[in-house]
Amino acid sequence: MKMIILIGPQGSGNHLFAKILSLHDDVHGWKAALEPDGYFIPHLYEPFNPYWNDPSKITADIMGGKDYAVTSVSCPYMVNYLPKLPAVAEFTTQLDKCGIDHQILAIGRDRNILTTQQTRLRGGPTWGAMSLLLNSFETPPFFVSQELLYLYRKHYLRSLAANIDFPIAWNDPRVDHILAADANEKYVTPCARTELDDYVNNFNKPPWLK
């Protein structure tokens, strides 16, 4: 049995990765988020949320009868309107006691976008909490990227499945549906020309056009 633990700063793609890694039939995950009305479900309703609030409740039943499972938690996440670091050490210790293998995937997203989004929603950037959490890990996590997911899509997921030895439905048509709206697009605006633009354009021209 193996559980993937998705952890990333608020707004880094926790919902996104949780949905896609839950697509495979062999995986116990956030199936409700895959429903037509599950575009955004608060993490309060993530199926493993009670175990994050109290890891001592973890038993082998956490796998939902499957050999594979995926859970997602933000860093920090909110409890009674207050930010809290996820109790990763306690969570994984309980998994070990139940004989459940596990791997942590740390989600990344452009820092400028995270700062803008978190300032809008939380009053300031909170991504620094993830760096604090990483300092406590004895074994480095496997890093995944929202930008690479949107750019390479099924090719990225196919590679990810091989690298983490976990079933991912990378060829499922629902992947393209989930990735249809790029969450980064609204943060991107055209930039003004720079002093190097003409140099680069001229450098790339064949000699007879210069």
pLDDT tens, 116-125?
A: 999 988 888 8
Structure tokens at 108: 């990344």
Q: Is 199 a member of any domain? A: no
Inside any domain, residue 158:
yes
Strand 77-79 with 82-84, pairing:
antiparallel
192: pLDDT strictly greater than 80: no
Quick check: 67 pLDDT over 70? Answer: yes
The answer to whether residue 109 is domain-embedded is yes
**Residue 68 domain-assigned?**
yes
DSSP 138: S
Q: What is the mean pLDDT of residues 51-76?
A: 96
Q: Please report whether residue 148 resides in a domain.
A: yes
Q: Which two tokens stand for residue 134?
A: 């990483």
Note whether 164 and 147 are within 8 A (CB): no
140 found inside a domain: yes
Overall domain count for the chain: 1
- The CATH number linked to 26 is 3.40.50
Instruction: Quote the CA–CA distance of 89 and 94 in Å, as a whole number.
Output: 9
Give the single-character DSSP code of 189. -
* Full domain range(s) for residue 110: 2-181
Structure tokens at 193: 């020309």
- pLDDT tens track for 35-57: 766 566 777 788 999 999 999 99
Q: What is the pLDDT of residue 37?
A: 62
Query: Average pLDDT over the chain, rounded to whole?
Result: 90
DSSP code of 140? P
Cβ atoms of 38 and 104 within 8 Å: the answer is no
Judge whether 29 and 22 are in contact, CB under 8 Å: yes
The first and second tokens of residue 129, run together, are: 């909490």
Residue type, 154: K
**pLDDT band at 208, cuts 50/70/90?**
low
The pTM (predicted TM-score) of the whole model is 0.89
CB atoms within 10 A of CB 197: 10
Burial class (CB in 10 A: 0-12, 13-18, 19+), 90: middle
* Domain assignment present for 207: no
In a domain, 70, yes or no: yes
